[in-house]
Amino acid sequence: MLDWSWAEERLASSRNYWIVTTGGDGAPAAAPVWGVWSHGALYFGTNPQSLKGRNLTRDPRVVVHLESGDEVVILRGDIAREDLPESVVDAYEAKYAHRPPVTEGWFVLRPRRAVAWVELDYPRTATRFDFA
């Protein structure tokens, strides 16, 4: 089994996060976004008028996963719209060499459930994390 700190290390160091939303007709949609893992939450931005922005506004349920299929971390939960804490703005700028606008389009996911595993040692490393 993996420790949550293992998953958090990968969440913090990941450059791209794949966001999976659901369209009004029930069709899944996946797209990468930039974001920051901070204080047990993923902060990410998207244009509210984009497909993923419209999907998230209509249905806050989301699945987020990292790019790696070898060291897997998948988050599930509901997003919220929030102002970005200054520490997240600073971390985003340090990570991407771009200071994000903080006026609109920001979402935060505090996962209800996460799963993680190392492919070379699956299923021994397959771990589920449930959060209150």
Burial zone of 64 (CB within 10 Å; 0-12 exposed, 13-18 middle, 19+ buried)? buried
The domain ranges of the chain are 4-130
Please count the other Cβ atoms lying within 10 Å of the Cβ belonging to residue 11.
24
Burial zone of 1 (CB within 10 Å; 0-12 exposed, 13-18 middle, 19+ buried)? exposed
Angle at CA of residue 89, ends 87 and 90, nearest 5° = 65
Chunk the chain into consecutive blocks of 10 residues (it has 132) and report each block's average pLDDT, rounded to whole numbers.
Answer: 98 98 96 96 92 95 96 98 90 95 84 98 97 90
Q: Give the model's pLDDT for residue 48.
A: 86
Q: Give the model's pLDDT for residue 103.
A: 66
pTM for this one? Answer: 0.94
pLDDT for 40-59, tens place per residue? 999 999 888 999 999 999 99
Q: Give the model's pLDDT for residue 123.
A: 95
CATH number of 4-130: 2.30.110.10
